[in-house]
Amino acid sequence: MNDTTTPDAGRLADLRIDGDRLWRSLMDLAAIGATPLGGVRRIALTDLDRQGRDQVVAWFRAAGLEVRVDPIGNIFGRRAGRDAGRPPVVAGSHIDTQPSGGKFDGNYGVLAGLEVVRTLNDRGIATVAPVEVAVWTNEEGTRFTPVMMGSGVFAGVHRLDEVLARTDLEGRAVGDELQRIGYAGTAPLGHPVGAYFEAHIEQGPVLEDSRCTIGIVTGALGQRWYDVTVTGMNAHAGPTPMRLRKDALLAASRLVGEVNRIALEFAPDGRGTVGFMQVSPNSRNVVPGEVRFSVDFRHATDDGLAGMDRALRAACERVAREVNVAVAVAEAVYFPPCHFDAACVGAVRESTRALGFTHLDIVSGAGHDAVYVARVAPAAMIFVPCKDGISHNEIEDALPADLAAGCDVLARAMLARAGVA
């Protein structure tokens, strides 16, 4: 079935990670950059990021991992396998946070990987392929764009020199800041990866709503973003009869409804969101002459996104005619849909079933480092519930039992791919 040795059912049936140790490490890391409301502010390539990295590297070394850092600052901690020629089976995520971020987004994937290594050490389990834990640089993209910077450079999506030259609002460059915090490494960029697993809180409400513990992530939605500008004519709200208006907000509002309708037509994987809207002149008694708004479409397939695109453009033309305004649609971003590796997804599913957790297949609506890694290696993700589906927020929360369950699934899936020696 796999090209690696299947875990010995007898020996591994009772393999469980240490949920308390995982939780303590999460809380210890969350203390670096802790915010008053219980969240974390540890923005990429700041002093706090360095402190967080130093802590994780210290834990890696204490667990016997060989630590390497590549030129974009990605950190890899490797546990040797019996067959040094095999590419490693990697678990990872990121430890940078949003400005008002939580304790779990990213951090969980890194520390779950570390907990797997610690458990293998405790049990004296050797693997055929090496096992590795990865910390990707600047996933959040808060201070420096692009988002998912480290994994994007690793996967060849972005050029290293271009990304090193990116600056923040104060003009400081990625390359200089990596030097400053001591994480401009020299390890070869983009080494081979045998399989990649990323455990992550769901950042949405589906698992909680379905009362499931594990989300078996089969892929990530593609994203197609637009900037729409509606141009009508400013007019006094009083003297201008309804029939002589060119009301840009009336047209934009109809299009918000159309975006919603289109998403529902492309159910269940369609998403349509207008998150940003700017009205001009935005005065109580003036019919708005211009409205700019964003459209964020997501779908599991390119065909779905193409259909949503056609429906949006048709709706814009129709509403422009109906309301007597001009509507301009500019495409801003296109992320193609991602389909995770069948064997990796299968390893997650079999591990989940073997452990007896409630589960459902889920497509990630958000981007993750795994989406870029999937371009160069077999990859999959494991989701666990987060409270009320809330993330990117200081009140982000998750249950210790759910985090431990996801880590148990991760351990079994990694062993399935790495092979027990």
The residue ranges that bind a second copy (CB under 8 A) are 202-206, 209, 221, 223, 225, 234-242, 244, 247, 249-250, 252-254, 256-257, 260, 263-264, 267-268, 270-279, 282-288, 294, 296, 298, 364-367, 389-393
Of 175 and 337, the one with the shorter C-beta distance to a second copy is: 337
User: At its nearest, how many Å lie between a second copy and the CB of residue 369?
Assistant: 15
Of 34 and 256, the one with the shorter C-beta distance to a second copy is: 256
Nearest to 174 by CA among 335, 45, 33, 14: 45
User: At its nearest, how many Å lie between a second copy and the CB of residue 284?
Assistant: 4
Of 84 and 330, the one with the shorter C-beta distance to a second copy is: 330
Of 31 and 244, the one with the shorter C-beta distance to a second copy is: 244
**What is residue 304's DSSP assignment?**
H
User: At its nearest, how many Å lie between a second copy and the CB of residue 298?
Assistant: 6
Of 109 and 367, the one with the shorter C-beta distance to a second copy is: 367
Largest CA distance in the chain: 83
Which element (helix H / strand E) includes 415? helix 400-418
Would strands 214-220 and 338-339 be described as parallel, antiparallel, or unpaired? antiparallel
Distance, in Å, from the CA atom of 342 to the CA atom of 363, rounded to the nearest integer, reads 14
Label residues 270-285 b or e (16+ Cβ within 10 Å = b).
bbbebeeeebeeeeee
Q: What is the DSSP string of 92-156?
A: EE-----TTB-SSTTHHHHHHHHHHHHHHHHHT--BSS-EEEEE-S-SS-SSSSSSSHHHHHHTT
User: At its nearest, how many Å lie between a second copy and the CB of residue 206?
Assistant: 6
User: At its nearest, how many Å lie between a second copy and the CB of residue 262?
Assistant: 10
User: At its nearest, how many Å lie between a second copy and the CB of residue 348?
Assistant: 18
Of 34 and 390, the one with the shorter C-beta distance to a second copy is: 390
Distance, in Å, from the CA atom of 317 to the CA atom of 313, rounded to the nearest integer, reads 6
